[in-house]
Amino acid sequence: MANTNSIPTHLGIILDGNRRWAKRNGLPTLQGHRQGMDNFKDVSLAAFGRGVKFVSAYIFSVENWQRTQEEVSYLMNLVNKGIQKHLETYHQAGIKLVMLGSRQGIEKKILASIDTAIEKTKANTKGTFVLCFNYGGKQEIAEAAQKLAKQGSEITFESLDQAIGLA
């Protein structure tokens, strides 16, 4: 019989529905994103506190670039502000930050904040916060195929897995 009280090793959270939540609560849609960021912090720290080793936050996919310029700018600035606001809290909790996704198209100031957080927390060992930012399945496959083509490698399921980092 399986232990139903076991703690998962990895928790993935897709930050979705913030605009719908804001509309239902009579707030501007951008306010929903800010509330989602604060809720994520509380949920992720609670998960780490209960023994979860990895928490992945899917916060901005490449498809999100299709949103309005106002919303994209707000989300980018929210990531920057969120890192600056919560970095010390995660660091004091012993949580390491890593980023998965493309750096292409991201403003230098945002990348600098992410890089600062990664550097500051790299030796932390109580958990890993995986920031999935500017990610996309098709993009990962295309980048892996380009990498293999440059190397002159045959493109197979196995070589794609290896190029993406799954093997």
Distance CA 79, CA 1 (A): 42
Which residues are catalytic, by number? 16, 64
What region, left, alpha or beta, does residue 112 occupy, with left being phi > 0 and alpha being psi -120 to 50 degrees? alpha
The arrangement of strands across the sheet holding 95-100 comes to: 10-14, 54-61, 127-135, 95-100
Range list of β-strands (E), 2-71: 10-14, 54-61
What are the structure tokens assigned to 58, written together? 């899917």
Distance CA 135, CA 109 (A): 19
Q: How many CB atoms lie within 10 A of CB 36?
A: 20
